[in-house]
Amino acid sequence: MTAYDGSAAAEDGAGSPEDGERVRRRRPGRFGAAVSVLLAAVLLFPGLVPNTRFRAGSLVETFLPWLGVLAVLLLVIGLARRSPLAVGAALVPVAAWLLLFAPLVAGGVSGDGARLSVVQHNVSDENPDPVGTAQALAAPGPDLIAVEELTEEAAPSYRRALREAYPHHVAYGTVALWSRHPLLSDEPVDLRPAGVDESWRRGLRTMVRTPHGDVAVYVVHLPSLRITSQGMRTQRRDESARLLGARLERERAGRVLVVGDLNGTLDDRGLAPVTGRLGRPQGGFAFSWPERFPLARIDHVLGRSVSVVGVHTLPATGSDHLPVLARVDLRGG
């Protein structure tokens, strides 16, 4: 029988409880560092996430700002474990998040250049209080009020509530616009995906004559997306976005606003045909959906050759969305 020499084993670095503990301490640091690097890559290059069967790319892009919570969590874990490697690595996604979203944390921009104010709201076709909702939308005194999911039953209530302050009005299907300023012309915008009948009417274009010049205004409502066990279903939404993008490409007006429920965030690649032709708003997260615990801004005011600034949400109405108020500098984008 061979005697066990503990000192020799210790010299060889095997079997020591202290060594095992050190290994266990090192592994979380390396794993956390790897997760941090991966998270930073997703933040900076979300397009690397494939958007194939499960639409994982669009799902990540929809909730991209919330990845900052994971970055902070990794930093806290690294500090708790006193791992310089984990802490250093966690600072990378934190820095990436700040690079992307710090301007939104700082809030909106205000000033003399904000010449036009716009309220955008999906009022919900199940809203039990259309009169109260109309009054809430008019309360900040915007120049324009755009709504979606306007039903035939609720439309008269909105018209009566807004008629005095907003004498200029256009509606097409379930989308509508009220304006303090004259509307020179209006027309429907066909955004129907393949297989959808003509009763689906969710787009209009009108020309608003403001004291500072004419602006072409689109009010749109893209198809809803669904989050299921098989991922996000965005095909119809994406098809409508391509149709809207093609219409914007043909638009000849010098200044353009697109207002509506796009059922996606500005980072979602499915909306690229639209967002790629319009400027990005300045300031404010303005998460608008769902109303009880807003996770994403899917209600938008976007512009071309104008600057959209000071975006924020208004108090809840009877809808499952929050209203969004934006100020528009018509001097240029």
pLDDT digits (tens, 9 = 90+) for 159-187: 999 999 999 999 999 999 999 999 999 99
Would you say residue 209 has pLDDT above 50? yes
Average pLDDT over residues 136-154: 98
Q: Residue 238: pLDDT above 50? A: yes
Q: Is the model's pLDDT at 27 over the cut of 60?
A: no
User: Maximum CA pair distance of the chain?
Assistant: 103
Helix count and strand count (H, E) for the chain: 9, 13
How confident is the model over 97-120, as a mean pLDDT? 78
Identify the helix (H) or strand (E) that includes residue 153: none
Lowest mean pLDDT among 59-63, 76-80, 119-123, 283-287: 283-287
Cα 166 from Cα 211, distance rounded (Å) = 15
- The domain made up of 116-329 has a fold known as Deoxyribonuclease I; Chain A (3.60.10)
Residue 275: name the closest of 306, 304, 236 by CA.
304
Say if residue 14's pLDDT is above 80.
Answer: no
- Split at pLDDT 50, 70, 90, the class of 9 is very low
pLDDT at 105: 74
Confidence at 232, pLDDT banded by 50, 70, 90: confident
Domain ranges of the chain: 6-105, 116-329
Q: Are 223 and 138 in contact (CB under 8 A)?
A: no
Give Cα 63 distance to the centre of its chain.
8
Which pLDDT does position 241 carry in this prediction?
98
Nearest one of 202, 143, 105, 174 to 326, comparing CA atoms? 143
Q: How far is CA 116 from CA 74, 215, 306, in A?
A: 43, 10, 10
Confidence of residue 110 (pLDDT cuts 50, 70, 90): low
Q: What is the pTM of this model?
A: 0.88
Q: Region 36-59: what's the mean pLDDT?
A: 92
Query: Residue 226 pLDDT > 80, yes or no?
Result: no
